Amino acid sequence: MAEQHTVVEAEERDAAEPVEKTDDGEKREGIEDAEPAGAKKSWRAMLVAGLVVVFGGLACWFAVETNQVRGGAAANAAYADTTTTSEVLGQVGDALVKVFSYAYDNPGPTDEAAAQVLGGAAKTQYQQLFAQVRAQAPAQKLVVRSQAVVSGVKVLDGDHATVLVFLDQSATRGDAGTDGTSAAQLTVTAERQHGRWIVTDLKSQ
C-alpha cells in the first residue's frame, strides 16, 4: 500500500535581527531563526538526492534488462518493427493503468478492465497484488490513480512480447484526508489475441 506522506508547514517567526552577546553574558537573540532555513535546505537536498536515486535506479534496470537481449537483436523484432512495438507499449500501458486504478465507491470500471485485458496466469497474479487494496478500500474510502510513466519492449517475437513498465501510483484516503505515492517496476508478458495485446503474466520487481 502506498506510504502516506504529510508536509507540515513551519509557523512564521518574527524576523528579529541577531543581537551580539553582551559583556554580562546575556544570550544574543535570533540565532535559532537561521536553523529552520538550514533544515529546509537540507530536507530539499535529501529529496532531490532521493529522486536522483529512484530514476537512476530505473535507468539502470532498463539498461540491464535491455542489454541481456541485445546480443540476439537480429531475432528480436522490437528493434526493427517499431509499429508493433508502439502498439504493444500503448495497449499494455493502458491496460495496466486501468487495472491498477481503483475507486472504493466505483469499482466497476476496474473489474471490467481486468476481465478484458488480463488472461492466463496474470488474472491470479493481479488478484494477489491488488487484494489488500480491495480489502481496505471501503473502510479507508480509498482512491488509487495509476500512470505508466516509462515503458519499453524487451522482447518482441511474433504474437508474444515481454514489456518492462514503471508504474507510478497516487492514493487518497478519504477517512484520514491524506495522500500518498508509490511506484512499481513490472515485467509483463503479453500475447496478441484477436488483434489485441492481452497481459498473460505479471511480475512485480
- pLDDT tens for each residue of 147-161: 998 889 999 999 999
- Determine what percent of the chain is predicted with pLDDT higher than 90: 56
Q: Is-contact 168 180, C-beta < 8 A?
A: no
Helix %, strand %, coil % of the chain (to 5): 45, 30, 25
Q: Alpha-carbon distance 93 to 101, whole Å?
A: 12
Average pLDDT over residues 181-185: 91
Scanning 118-196, the segments in alpha helix (DSSP H) are: 121-140
The answer, yes or no, to whether residue 169 has pLDDT greater than 70, is: yes
pLDDT confidence tier of residue 77, bands split at 50, 70 and 90 = confident
pTM of the predicted structure, to 2 decimals: 0.66
Q: Look at residue 56 in the predicted model and tell me its pLDDT.
A: 45
pLDDT confidence tier of residue 9, bands split at 50, 70 and 90 = very low
Q: Alpha-carbon distance 105 to 24, whole Å?
A: 68
The answer, yes or no, to whether residue 117 has pLDDT greater than 90, is: yes
The answer, yes or no, to whether residue 2 has pLDDT greater than 60, is: no
State the chain's mean pLDDT as an integer. 76
CATH 3.10.450.230 fits 77-204, yes or no: yes
Lowest mean pLDDT among 18-32, 72-86, 160-174, 178-192: 18-32
Q: Is-contact 198 115, C-beta < 8 A?
A: no
3-state DSSP assignment of residue 103: strand
- Nearest 5 degrees, angle CA 107-CA 108-CA 110? 70
Dihedral, CA atoms, 117, 169, 172, 54, nearest 10 degrees? 170
The answer, yes or no, to whether residue 201 has pLDDT greater than 80, is: yes
Which pLDDT tens digit goes with each residue over 40-75? Answer: 445 444 444 444 444 444 445 555 555 544 445 545
Residue of 201, 204, 171, 161 lying closest to 185 (CA atoms): 204
Q: Look at residue 88 in the predicted model and tell me its pLDDT.
A: 96
The answer, yes or no, to whether residue 22 has pLDDT greater than 50, is: no
Every domain of the chain and the residues it spans: 30-70, 77-204
Q: Is-contact 141 175, C-beta < 8 A?
A: yes
Q: Alpha-carbon distance 127 to 131, whole Å?
A: 5
Task: Provide the total of helices (H) and of strands (E) in the chain, helices listed first.
Answer: 4, 6
The answer, yes or no, to whether residue 136 has pLDDT greater than 90, is: yes
Q: Look at residue 177 in the predicted model and tell me its pLDDT.
A: 93
pLDDT confidence tier of residue 116, bands split at 50, 70 and 90 = very high
3-state DSSP assignment of residue 131: helix
Q: Which residues pair with 181 in a beta bridge?
A: 3, 170
3-state DSSP assignment of residue 177: coil
